[in-house]
């Protein structure tokens, strides 16, 4: 969604490259913005038993003049909070990180480590999700047991146990199981590699067609689900991935065209795209 906001500032080849990478070609920018707006409204209201909060913000160096149309468009369609800041003030980092912390209910407390002198803007999207399982695990059945990792090694952890009817589908590479939250509008989709397969084998064959066929072939059957209780944090820089998908020009300091954001000294370009996730899975649900 942060890239969706950024798209409103792109022009020419940069715009086309970003739009194609985001699989948004064939529709107008107005339609793209309206789609993002509708998606936020849908996800945050579709299930009263699930908490889904989506927050967007733009933080920019207060010595530059950002084009009003860019600001107003992102305020209108992304409900983005607009914050001109003194990027030379050390307190700015804490202010931005506190916004992220509040927007994720304390689960992610830091996204900005430092501010480079050349940085003029941060576009940030924060999503908070909390859902209780439609079929909850009985805590009294959770035991210490061994979990087999993809490497073949075992690690001791708390294993949760639930026997009920799930939506399941299988193929030669993996078994898919849907574990619903709340009223069933959200679910965790689990892919278990077949006995002779590893995670990399699943990744190598997984594409849109296989995903859709697996979803469409889900059928209800009684199963015993035995999964770990876990907390996990994950952070990745997406620069190289996005470049490989066709967005390289947006990262080029000389060729990138973001003149719909601002025109000033130097050329605006994307320096980093960072993704950070925290997940807590337990007997009650997921946060």
**Dihedral of alpha carbons 164, 211, 3, 76, sign:** negative
Helix then strand then coil, in percent of the chain rounded to 5, is 30, 35, 35
CA distances from 260 to 2, 6, 175, 177 (A): 16, 10, 47, 45
What is residue 92's three-state secondary structure?
A: helix
Whether residues 96 and 215 share a domain: the answer is no
Q: How far apart are CA 79 and CA 30, in angstroms?
A: 15
Give 237's Cβ-side CA count (13 Å radius).
7
Q: How many domains are contained in the chain?
A: 2
**Average pLDDT of every residue of the chain:** 94
Whether residues 118 and 10 share a domain: the answer is yes
Q: Is the pTM of this model over 0.85?
A: yes
27: left (phi over 0), alpha (psi -120 to 50) or beta: beta
Q: Show the domain range for 166.
A: 143-227
CB contact set of 196 (below 8 Å; sequence gap of 6+): none
How do residues 187-218 score in pLDDT, each as one tens digit? 999 999 999 899 999 999 999 999 999 999 99
Whether residues 205 and 69 share a domain: the answer is no
The CATH number of whichever domain residue 6 belongs to comes to 3.30.497.10
Give 266's pLDDT tier (boundaries 50, 70, 90). confident
Whether residues 209 and 243 share a domain: the answer is no
pLDDT, mean of residues 218-233? 95
Check residue 246 and report its DSSP letter. Answer: I
The answer to whether position 136 is within a domain reads no
Give 27's Cβ-side CA count (13 Å radius).
11
How do residues 141-172 score in pLDDT, each as one tens digit? 999 999 998 898 999 999 999 999 999 999 99
pLDDT, mean of residues 262-284? 91
């Amino acid at each position: 969604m942060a890239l969706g906001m950024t798209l409103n500032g792109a022009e020419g080849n940069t715009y086309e490259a970003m739009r194609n990478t985001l699989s948004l070609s064939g529709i107008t920018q107005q339609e793209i913005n309206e789609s993002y707006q509708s998606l936020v409204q849908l996800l945050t209201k579709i299930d009263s038993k699930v908490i889904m909060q989506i927050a967007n913000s733009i933080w920019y160096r207060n010595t530059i003049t950002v084009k009003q149309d860019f600001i107003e468009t992102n305020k209108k369609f992304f409900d983005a909070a607009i914050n001109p800041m003194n990027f030379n003030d050390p307190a700015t980092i804490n202010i931005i990180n506190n916004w992220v912390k509040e927007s994720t209910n304390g689960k992610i407390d830091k996204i900005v480590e430092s501010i480079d002198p050349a940085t003029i803007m941060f576009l940030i999207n924060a999503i908070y999700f909390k859902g209780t399982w439609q079929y909850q695990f009985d805590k009294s059945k959770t035991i210490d047991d061994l979990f087999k990792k993809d490497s073949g090694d075992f690690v001791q952890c708390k294993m949760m146990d639930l026997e009920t009817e799930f939506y399941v589908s299988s193929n030669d590479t993996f078994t898919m199981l849907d574990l619903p939250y709340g009223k069933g509008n959200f679910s965790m989709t689990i892919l278990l590699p077949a006995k002779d397969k590893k995670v990399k084998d699943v990744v190598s064959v997984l594409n849109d067609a296989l995903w859709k066929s697996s979803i469409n072939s889900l059928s209800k059957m009684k199963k015993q689900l035995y999964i770990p209780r876990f907390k996990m944090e994950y952070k990745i820089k997406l620069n190289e991935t996005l470049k490989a998908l066709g967005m390289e020009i947006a990262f080029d300091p000389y060729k990138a065209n973001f003149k719909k954001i601002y025109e000033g000294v130097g050329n605006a370009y994307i320096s980093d795209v960072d993704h950070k996730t925290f997940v807590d899975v337990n007997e009650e649900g997921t946060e």
